[in-house]
Structure 1
């Protein structure tokens, strides 16, 4: 009996030790730290990080703050997850636009048809299930209309290609999600392989819904708070710009479609997930004091629990509000420009068109 008890204690101690080392980290590929460090050196990474991508004063300032916050986090797993998300945003994913976000508007007929479908589907909407970046007492509802989400993907692709300046491959148009009362969406970046050039297409909300802004960081170090009107589209580089809705939603429901593309030419050749692992500096385990507020990680999402609405830069956020305008983009610095969509808003085919 004593022998079995001793073995149990030994196994427990071994498990505890592994949980504090690289081997105990979730989401870690199969490599040794020596192999990872060899790739770190071979790729020319250095620490402190000399500059980020893009190399603007504001982006460097914002990312240096995030690195400082990472190194003060006492939890090894959180620190590892935070390094991966931060370096994907800061270095390994390229940028395609000046600010990383823009506000435009969808074709009117598309919004009208989806709005009708939303109201028809509300009585039978299913629950979506638990998602780690969404918090609140009520999990989102979901209306399945693949016929309409496929149409969204098809009709919005020219808008996102004109904005990003590159040919895109469609990955998904996800919807229709209906957030419910007291929901929050923590700040995060999306999947580097497939969610690169994206948009949030706001459709409608309940009559008692209060404005619920999308919060997004840009390449000049600004935090932007954008209130969308029905039919508005927030264009954003979703694998690079931290975004979310950390303020609490007040109302019965709020629904959007999430449309994701990736660059067609050469994007899938490089594994940017593993590249973010290789870019983590050898000092990542060292815990040092930071002058900035605590930054905590819940899986892939980030919060600053000591700040209002769990995100400190909201205090100085630049505020924007729709409605946007079809064929035009409004973005950081108040810039407004044409997307050059010469064909005008698409229309649905009629019987005459098929003769």
Structure 2
């Protein structure tokens, strides 16, 4: 079945018809490269992107992705290359930003944290934990490590966590959210590392990592996140600390190896109530450059190699396999940070605006 677009009769009608095409292509799996390129040109895209195409439009964010797009152009494997464009184009050019920096550090509700900690410690003593594979957690001869454990917190506590933390994330992001899921408790073990990545663009938009506890004798293990000014940040979490982040916008991971017996957090993901996942995915396909599958004639030889495994990124030539680790901003919770406040990229502590819902916590 072939679907032919009608003559252009106005930008708004064109986009409405395009949305219908997107749904049909998704259902039937019939989007061809010619169709994709035609739509790229119909939308008046150009490559390299204009400075004003970046979201947000600032020099640090542009510089971060100008470099990454040049690296992606050098990737010889076409599947890996297309995946790299999908993640990076979505992050740099299409996904809106809801906050200034894309991340913040706050405190979780103490009662919830204590109940989660109790479940964690009980679970670590039992033999019922299940090993779990996650895409950004490599296990191979090159990356020997123990798989993370998964300790169930039960449906009641899971629901409670999603409801209570939703209020915090709505106050931080300024948008009404729909809960997608909560992962946890995930327990990382010795020599764990996670490659840099963004999360699922359809559902993991505004997210949180609530840190429940870790081996007191283990080494500090930072969450690494790129902010919306192009900085690479190392955030060190203690029990009860919560990282708020735009998880399908800002690349993040734990490229340093963990040295310790266990490290456990709860991961919670939400998306805006008006999030159109099908349109967003297809908009990303249509924004990839027409000549993406060609190797450049003048390669940027001074750039470090970027390797892509599914949706995970690494730079093998750099320490910790991520070149941004050479120059990071390090953050940890200030003793002045209280529940209902957050710390972000400018170092200022601000109060979350809960409005009427704040008292519910």
> Which TM-score tier does this pair reach, normalised by the shorter chain?
0.7 to 0.9
The 1-side partners of 2:184 and 2:314 are apart by: 25
Answer yes or no: is 1:294 the counterpart of 2:297: no
1:154 to 163, 170, 187: 163
Secondary structure in structure 2 of the residue aligned to 1:333: coil
- 1:281-320 alignment to 2 at 5 Å? 281-288=289-296, 289-290=299-300, 291-320=302-331
Aligned residues of 2:167 and 2:358 also touching (Cα < 8 A) = no
Contact 2:63 2:230 in 1 (8 A): yes
1:256 CA drift (Å): 0.4
C-alpha distance in structure 1 between counterparts of 2:190 and 2:97, whole Å:
34
The Cα of 1:29 is off from its aligned counterpart by 5.0
Partner in structure 2 of residue 16 of structure 1: none
Q: Is the 8 A contact 2:201 2:277 kept in 1?
A: no
**Could you tell me which residue of structure 1 aligns to residue 141 of structure 2?**
none
Give the superposition deviation at 1:129.
Answer: 2.7
Question: C-alpha deviations, 1:214-262, integer Å up to 9, x for none?
Answer: 0000111100000011101100000110000010011111000111000
Match of 2:66 in 1: 64
- Aligned-residue offset at 1:341: 3.4
The structure whose Rg is larger is 1
Q: 1:336, CA displacement in angstroms?
A: 2.0
Q: 1:234 to 1:334 in 2, by over 3 A?
A: same
Please show how residues 180-219 of structure 1 align to structure 2 within 5 Å. 180-219=189-228
State the distance in 1 between where 2:58 and 2:29 align. 32
CA contact (8 A) 1:127 1:139 kept: no
RMSD value, Cα: 1.7
- Whole-angstrom CA distance in 1 between matches of 2:33 and 2:214: 49
TM-score, normalization by structure 1: 0.86
User: Judging changes above 3 Å, is the alpha-carbon distance between structure 1 residues 302 and 153 closer, same or farther for their aligned structure 2 residues?
Assistant: same
Which of 319, 322, 332 aligns to 2:333? It is 322
What residue in structure 1 maps to residue 248 of structure 2?
Answer: 239
Looking at structure 2, the residues matched to 309 and 345 of structure 1 have their Cα atoms a distance apart, in angstroms, of: 43
Question: How far apart, in 2, do the equivalents of 1:43 and 1:238 lie?
Answer: 27
Whether the 8 Å contact between 2:208 and 2:269 is mirrored in structure 1 is yes
Aligned-partner Cα distance in 2 for 1:86–1:285: 16
Other-structure match for 2:118: 116
Structure-2 residue corresponding to 1:82: 84
The alignment of Structure 1 onto Structure 2 pairs a total of residues equal to 319
Aligned match of 1:275:
283
> How many angstroms apart in 2 are the aligned matches of 1:29 and 1:225?
40
2:349 aligns with one of 327, 336, 346: 336
Question: TM-score with structure 2 length normalisation?
Answer: 0.85
CA positional deviation for 1:74: 1.8
Q: How far does the alpha carbon of each residue in 1:170-219 deviate from its partner, in whole angstroms, 9 at most, with x for none?
A: 11111110001000011000111110000111000122221110000011
CA distance 1:100–1:209, change in 2 (3 Å): same
Query: Which residue in the other structure is 1:140 paired with?
Result: 148
Residue in 2 aligned with 1:228?
237
1:125–1:141 Cα contact (<8 Å) kept: no
Long gaps (5+) in structure 1: 1-27, 348-355
CA contact (8 A) 2:172 2:353 kept: no
Name the CA distance, whole Å, in 1 between partners of 2:114 and 2:294.
Answer: 54
SS at match of 1:332: coil
1:150 Cα deviation after fit: 1.4
